[in-house]
Chain A
Amino acid sequence: MLKSQVLELERIRDDFPILKRKVKGKRLVYLDNAATTQKPRKVIDALVDYYERYNANAHRSLHTLGIEATEEFERSRRGAAEFIHASPKEIIFTRGTTESINLVRFAWAEEHVKKDDTILLTLMEHHSNIVPWQLVARRNGANLKFIELDSQGRLKMDEIEEEIERSPRLVAVTQCSNVLGTINDAARICRRARKAGSLSVIDGAQSVPHMPVSVSEVGCDFFAFSGHKMLGPTGIGVLYGRRELLEEMAPFQGGGEMIREVHLDGAKWNDVPYKFEAGTADIAGAIGLLAAIEYLSEIGMEKVRRHDVELLRYAIDALKGIKGLQLYGPERAEERSGVVSFNLADVHPHDLATILDGEGVEIRSGHHCAQPLMEWLRVPATSRASFHVYNSYDDIDALKAGLEKAREVFRL
Chain B
Amino acid sequence: MSAEIYKEIILDYYRHPRNYGKLENYDISARDTNPLCGDEVEMRIKVSDGGKIGEIKFQGKGCAISQASASMLTEFAKEKPLEWVKGLSKEDVLKLLGNPDLGPARIKCALLGMKVIKTGVYQYLGAKLDDLSAGE
Contact = CB atoms under 8 A, between A and B. Distances in A.
Q: Closest 7 A-B residue pairs measured CB to CB?
A: A358-B2, A348-B63, A350-B63, A409-B3, A355-B3, A351-B63, A351-B64
B36 interface: yes
A394 to B, nearest CB: 20
Interface in B30-62: 36-39, 61-62
A259 B63 CA distance: 51
B106 interface: yes
Contacts, number: 50
A381 interface: yes
A405 interface: yes
Nearest to B37: A350
Interface residues of A, number: 21
Interface string B1-45: 111111000010001000000000000000000001111000000
Contact of A380 (B3, B62, B109): B62
A20 interface: no
30 contacts: A346-B15, A347-B64, A348-B62, A348-B63, A348-B64, A349-B63, A350-B37, A350-B65, A351-B63, A351-B65, A354-B2, A354-B3, A354-B5, A355-B3, A355-B6, A357-B1, A358-B1, A358-B2, A358-B4, A359-B2, A366-B36, A366-B37, A367-B38, A380-B38, A380-B61, A380-B62, A406-B3, A409-B3, A409-B6, A410-B6
A366 B62 CA distance: 10
Contacts of A263: none
Q: Among the interface residues A24, A348, A367, A406, which one has the most CB atoms of the partner chain B within 10 A?
A: A348
A63 interface: no
B126 to A, nearest CB: 34
Q: Among the interface residues A351, A358, A359, A411, which one has the most CB atoms of the partner chain B within 10 A?
A: A351
Interface of A: 24, 346-351, 354-355, 357-359, 366-367, 380-381, 405-406, 409-411
Contacts of B61: 380
B98 to A, nearest CB: 15
Contacts of B105: 354
Given A348-B62, A351-B65, A410-B11, 17 more contacts: A347-B64, A349-B63, A350-B62, A350-B63, A350-B65, A354-B1, A355-B3, A355-B6, A357-B2, A366-B38, A380-B38, A380-B61, A381-B37, A406-B3, A409-B6, A410-B6, A411-B11
Nearest to B64: A351
A405 B106 contact: no
A351 B6 contact: yes
A401 to B, nearest CB: 12
Contacts of B63: 348-351
A349 B3 CA distance: 13
Contacts of B11: 410-411
Contacts of B64: 347-348, 351
Contacts of A367: 38
Contacts of A359: 2
A150 to B, nearest CB: 26
A25 B63 CA distance: 25
Contact of B106 (A24, A354, A366): A354
Contacts of B2: 24, 354-355, 357-359
Contacts of A405: 3
Contact of A350 (B3, B4, B106): B106
Interface in B95-113: 105-106, 109
A354 to B, nearest CB: 6
Contacts of A24: 2
Interface in B58-114: 61-65, 105-106, 109
Contacts of A409: 3, 6
A24 B61 CA distance: 29
Nearest to B62: A348
A348 B66 CA distance: 10
Nearest to B67: A348
Contacts of B62: 348, 350, 380
Nearest to A357: B2
